[in-house]
A and B are shown apart, each in its own frame.
Chain A
Amino acid sequence: MSPAIDYSALVETRPDGSRRLELAVEGITCAACIGDIERGLATVPGLDRARLNYTNRRLAADWTAPQFDPGAIVARLAELGYKAHPFEASREEARDEAEMRFLLRCLAVSGFAAMNIMLFSVSVWSGNVSDITPETRDLFHWISALIALPAAAYAGQPFFRNALRALRNRSMTMDVPISLGVCLALGMSLYETIHSAEHAYFDSAVMLLFFLLLGRVLDQVMRRKTRAVAGNLLALRGETAVVLGEDGQARETPVKGVRPGDRVLVRPGDRVAVDGEVISGASEVDASLVTGETAREPVGPGSLVYAGTVNVSGALTVRVTAAAEGTLLQEVNRLVETAAGARSRYLRLADRAARIYSPVVHVTALATAIGWLAAGAGLHAAIITAIAVLIITCPCALALAVPATQVVASGGLFRAGVLLQSGEAIERLAACDTVVFDKTGTLTTPDPRIVNRAELDPGLLALAARLALSSRHPLASALAAEARGQRPFEGATETPGQGVSAVVEGEPARLGSAAFCGAEAQAQTVLGASPDATVICFAHGARRAVILMRQVLRPDAVAVVAELKRAGYELAILSGDREEPVARVAAQLGVENWRAGLKPAEKIAALDEFAARGRRVLMVGDGLNDAPALAAAHASISPVTAAHLAQASADALFLGDRLAPVVDAARLSRRAVAIMRQNLWIAVIYNVVAVPLAIAGFVTPLIAAGAMSGSSIIVTLNALRARLGSRPTPSPETAPSAALPPHRPATLAP
Chain B
Amino acid sequence: MNVLVYLLPIALGLGFLGLVGFLWALKSGQYDDLDGAAARILDDDDIRKPGL
Chain A interfacial positions (CB closer than 8 Å to B): 31, 34-35, 39, 52-56, 101, 104-105, 108-109, 111-112, 115-116, 119, 133, 136, 139, 143, 147
Q: Cα distance A31–B36 when bound, in Å?
A: 7
**Chain B contacts with A in 1-52, Cβ cutoff 8 A:** 1, 4, 8, 11-12, 15-16, 18-19, 22-23, 26, 31-36, 38-40, 42-43, 45
Contact B16 A112 (CB under 8 A): yes
Contact A53 B19 (CB under 8 A): no
**Chain B neighbourhood of A147, CB < 8 A:** 12
Selected from A55, A105, A136, the residue in CB contact (under 8 A) with B26 is A105
Contact A34 B43 (CB under 8 A): yes
Contact B8 A143 (CB under 8 A): yes
Chain B interfacial positions (CB closer than 8 Å to A): 1, 4, 8, 11-12, 15-16, 18-19, 22-23, 26, 31-36, 38-40, 42-43, 45
Contact A54 B35 (CB under 8 A): yes
Question: What are the 6 closest A-B residue pairs judged by CB atoms, nearest first?
Answer: A31-B39, A54-B36, A112-B19, A53-B33, A55-B35, A55-B33
In the assembled complex, how far is the CB of residue A92 from the closest CB belonging to chain B, in whole angstroms?
18
Contact A116 B12 (CB under 8 A): yes
**Chain B neighbourhood of A109, CB < 8 A:** 19
Q: Cα distance A112–B13 when bound, in Å?
A: 11
Contact A104 B11 (CB under 8 A): no
Provide the main secondary structure of the chain B interface: helix
Q: Which residue of B lies closest to A53 (CB)?
A: B33
Known: A55-B34, A55-B35. A115 touches B42 (CB 8 A): no
Contact A112 B15 (CB under 8 A): yes
**Chain A neighbourhood of B12, CB < 8 A:** 116, 143, 147
In the assembled complex, how far is the CB of residue A26 from the closest CB belonging to chain B, in whole angstroms?
17
Selected from A35, A101, A104, A111, the residue in CB contact (under 8 A) with B43 is A35
22 contacts between A and B (CB under 8 A): A31-B36, A31-B38, A31-B40, A34-B36, A34-B39, A34-B43, A54-B36, A55-B32, A55-B33, A55-B34, A55-B35, A55-B36, A56-B33, A101-B26, A105-B26, A108-B19, A111-B19, A112-B15, A133-B1, A136-B4, A139-B4, A143-B12
**Chain A neighbourhood of B45, CB < 8 A:** 35, 39
Q: Which of B1, B18, B36: most chain A Cβ within 10 A?
A: B36
Could you count the A-B residue pairs with CB atoms below 8 Å apart for me: how many are there? Answer: 53
**Chain B neighbourhood of A111, CB < 8 A:** 19
Q: Cα distance A105–B26 when bound, in Å?
A: 8
**Chain A neighbourhood of B42, CB < 8 A:** 31
**Chain A neighbourhood of B23, CB < 8 A:** 105, 108
**Chain A neighbourhood of B4, CB < 8 A:** 136, 139
Q: Cα distance A133–B26 when bound, in Å?
A: 41
**Chain B neighbourhood of A39, CB < 8 A:** 45
**Chain B neighbourhood of A55, CB < 8 A:** 32-36
Selected from A104, A116, A136, A139, the residue in CB contact (under 8 A) with B15 is A116
Q: Given A55-B35, A55-B36, A116-B11, 10 more contacts at CB 8 Å?
A: A34-B36, A53-B33, A54-B35, A55-B34, A108-B26, A112-B15, A112-B18, A112-B19, A116-B15, A136-B4
Contact B26 A52 (CB under 8 A): no
In the assembled complex, how far is the CB of residue B52 from the closest CB belonging to chain A, in whole angstroms?
13
Q: Cα distance A108–B23 when bound, in Å?
A: 8
Known: A39-B45, A109-B19, A119-B11. A104 touches B33 (CB 8 A): no
Q: Cα distance A115–B18 when bound, in Å?
A: 11
**Chain A neighbourhood of B19, CB < 8 A:** 108-109, 111-112
**Chain B neighbourhood of A143, CB < 8 A:** 8, 12
Contact B33 A54 (CB under 8 A): yes
Q: Cα distance A147–B12 when bound, in Å?
A: 10
Known: A54-B35, A55-B32, A119-B11. A34 touches B40 (CB 8 A): yes
Q: Cα distance A34–B35 when bound, in Å?
A: 11
In the assembled complex, how far is the CB of residue A612 from the closest CB belonging to chain B, in whole angstroms?
46
Q: Which residue of B lies closest to A108 (CB)?
A: B22
Q: Which of A108, A111, A143: most chain B Cβ within 10 A?
A: A108
Contact B36 A52 (CB under 8 A): yes
**Chain B neighbourhood of A136, CB < 8 A:** 1, 4
Selected from A53, A112, A115, A119, the residue in CB contact (under 8 A) with B32 is A53
**Chain B neighbourhood of A133, CB < 8 A:** 1
